Every structure is written in structure tokens, then in C-alpha cells.
Amino acid sequence: MTTTAPPTSPPAAAGPAGPGLPGAPPTVKPPGPRPIVVRSIGVAAVVTIGFTVWLGLWVTPPDIHQKTLVRLLYLHPPVAWVALYLAFGLAALASLAYLWRRTRSLFWDRLAAAAVEVGVVFNALTLVTGSLWGRPTWGVWWTWTARLTSTALLLVLFLGYLALRRVPADPEVRARRCAVAALVAFVDVPIVHFSVQWWQTLHQGASILTPTHSFKVHGSMLWTMLLGFIAMTLVFVWMLMVRYQVEVLKDRVGDEELEVSLAERRAEGDTALTGDTALTGTAGDTTLTGGGR
Amino acid sequence: MNGAGTGYIVAGYTICLGVLFLYAVSLVLRRRRLARSAALAEPRPPGSAAGSHAGSDASPVGPGTGPVTAAAGTLPPVVGGTAGLAGLGGPGNGTGPAVSGDR
């Protein structure tokens, strides 16, 4: 009876980065959602954005009041929707889930961190695209009305959240601090939403989510705007998944670097002790071992 | 597409889509870099300490920053290095006073 040794598989870390690349640096498989899912959503996002741009710039007619400037509104409300409601809403929900003891897990902390960073990008784009629309429409790049000011404040608050994440601390402590900070910052979101109803402001009122649930946009303009919402949502989901993978990898690299460093120090200590004994035994030089002190 | 506000529209689309594209690329690059760092920093099996040192470019403890230099040195470096070794073997923190010829 012959026995065969089980095949030894190389460690995952030693594998090539891709097929046919033996000299490429080793990589690990990114954690989180499956690559096919991430890739599919990415492709869908690119396609829908392409259609939105095509419809928005070349197919839809100019508005009777705003003329061609209405084309900027196929981008501005969808970007604001992602920042305010999707990204910061998800960050607040994930922070709540982390703070609640039954669901406490670093998964929620990482999800909130990913959502906030992507949300900050979209929030900044909301301000930029709004300013580009406001300059020819209102005659000013910026005005301190309630909607604009509260949106700018939201950006500052969540930039503070990102800064807080960079403060060195134990992961649990950092997660708790950031969860509280995200909830505090999220208080500004309903203020942004209702600011056009609560105060007299230059910014126009709701066009899509009206109190009477009736659309104020019609025809091809409405469909283009809705496609813009779908496109930006897909972009957000793709970015959120990739950013979550980055967050997990960051934590993993930090932990493993610490373990490797400790192992190296221990190995150095063992080597040193062995060499020390040998030197003492053979050379008898007491000045080498500290015995001459 | 013609009109008075064309410049603003082109600027808005360019900035918005350009920033999103650049951020997406930066995310992919960050993920790739961290995946490589994670592969290099993965703990090696016991007994291959020398192998683990190969990945020390991702480690905060770089080569030559600790008393490890003493192990392969000739006599003068050994004297200096032994101080660190004695520190490691004694108080256990490797930061003890130097025991060298200058004392």
C-alpha cells in the first residue's frame, strides 16, 4: 500500500497578482462583496451615467425659463440625493447599529467610515454644481441662504468626522467616538432638507419630493433626471463597496504589521540571547555581557 | 447644445464627472496597494524568521533600527550591539543603558 503525501499548496500571500504574472508582487483577495458583483455594478454605473449625459446634453429640450442651464439639474439633484440621504443616512444608521449593543460590530464602523468619505465627495460636488448653476441664474456664485449654508455646514461636520477617524486610538474607542460624531453631524440633514420650507431662501423649493407628491418636472426632462438619480446611486454603491474593502484591508495591514514587528523583535531577542551566551562561553569577555558593570 | 450658459454646463459636467472618475481611480489604487501590503505583512510560518524579514518594507521596524545589527557584526559592532542585547535580556525592553567601551 502506497501513500501519497498531500499536495502542499503555496501560501496565499505568495501567489502572483494575476494569471501569467509570476514576477508580479503578491496580493490578497479583497474582502467584502464578490468581485463579480462589484464589477457588474461599476459597469452599470458607467452605462447609466453615459446615457444620462447623452440625454441631458443632447436630447432633452431647453427649459422655458432656465433655457439650457436646466441641463445642470440632471446632475445637481442626483448628487445631492446621494450625499444627503444615501451616504449620510447610511452612515447614521450604521453608527446607530454600532452603538446599539446587540448589533455592535466593527462592520458597522467600517461601513459608516466608507459611507462618510464617499458622501463628503458627493457633498462637495453638490456645492460646486449648485454654484455653477447659481452664478448665471442668480448672478452670484454663493449666497448665505439657509439651504446653502446648512449644506456647507454639513460638509464641514463630516470632514470633522473624517479627521476624528485619523486620531490614533484603540479601534473600539475610535469607533464609538466616530459613531457619536456621525449622529451629531446627521442632525444637520433634516435641517438642509426642510430649510427651503422653514426659511425664506433663494434656493427653489422641492421639485421631486413635493409635499403633495406631484412631480413638477415633466416629459423627457423627468426621465432624464430619474436616470441621473439611478446613475448616481449606482456610482455610490460601487464606491461604497470598494471603499469598504479599503477600510477592511487597512485594518488588516495594521494588525499584521504589528504582529510581524513583534515576531521580528522576538526573533531578534532570541538570536541575541543565543549569540550572547556563545560569546560569553567562548571568549570569556565579560565586557560583552554586562557582567563587567 | 447652444446657449448663454454653455460654459457653465460644460464646466459642471466636467468637474462632476472628472472628480468622480479621479476618486474612483484613487479607490482602486488604494485597494490594490493595501492588498499587496496585506500579502507582504501576512505572518509567515514559525521558523522562517529570515523570510519574514523580506517583507520588512511594510514593517514599521526597518532593518538596522534595532539591535539586530549586532548579530552579524565583527567585534567593534558587537560591543555596541551587545548593549541592546543585554537590554533585551535584562529589563526586557531593549532600551537599557549601553554597555560599551566608552564607559
pLDDT digits (tens, 9 = 90+) for A68-98: 888 999 999 999 999 989 999 999 999 999 9
Clarify whether residues B4 and B45 are in a common domain: yes
Give the distance from residue A291's alpha carbon to the nearest chain B alpha carbon, in angstroms: 9
CA A106 to each of CA A35, A90, B24, B35: distance values in angstroms, whole numbers, following the listed order: 22, 15, 24, 19
Q: Count structural domains, chain B.
A: 2
Q: What count of Cα atoms within 13 Å lies in the side-chain half-sphere of residue B62?
A: 2
* CB-CB under 8 Å, A279 with B61: no
Domain that holds residue B48: 1-61
Clarify whether residues B44 and B83 are in a common domain: no
What's the one-letter identity of residue A232?
A: M
Q: Which CATH number characterizes residue A156's domain? A: 1.20.120
* CB-CB under 8 Å, A245 with B41: no
Across residues A165-180, what is the average pLDDT? Answer: 93
Taking the complete model, does pTM exceed 0.95, yes or no? no
> pLDDT-derived band of residue A190, with 50, 70 and 90 as boundaries?
very high
Q: Count structural domains, chain A.
A: 1
Please check whether residue A165 is in contact with residue A106, taking contact to mean a CB–CB distance below 8 angstroms: no
Query: How far is A212 from A68, CA to CA, in rounded Å?
Result: 28
Determine the pLDDT at residue B45: 61
Query: How far is A99 from A88, CA to CA, in rounded Å?
Result: 16
pLDDT, tens only, A92-146: 999 999 999 999 999 999 999 999 999 999 999 999 999 999 999 889 999 999 9
More confidently predicted of B24 and B65: B24
What's the mean per-residue pLDDT of chain A? 83
Q: What is the dihedral of CA A186, A188, A191, A195, to 10 degrees?
A: -130
* CB-CB under 8 Å, A27 with B32: yes
- Residue appearing with cell numbers 467600517: A110
What is the ipTM, given to two decimal places?
Answer: 0.78
Domain that holds residue A42: 33-252
Across residues A205-232, what is the average pLDDT? Answer: 79
Clarify whether residues B43 and B70 are in a common domain: no
Size of interface A-B (CB pairs under 8 A): 193
| Cβ neighbours of residue A194 closer than 8 Å, sequence gap 6 or more | none
Clarify whether residues B12 and B56 are in a common domain: yes
Query: How far is A206 from A210, CA to CA, in rounded Å?
Result: 5
| Cβ neighbours of residue A193 closer than 8 Å, sequence gap 6 or more | A84
Give contacts of B94 with chain A, Cβ < 8 Å: 265, 269
CA A180 to each of CA A94, A109, A183: distance values in angstroms, whole numbers, following the listed order: 11, 11, 5
* CB-CB under 8 Å, A30 with B8: no
Q: How many CB atoms lie within 10 A of CB A45?
A: 22
Residue A48 pLDDT exceeds 90: yes
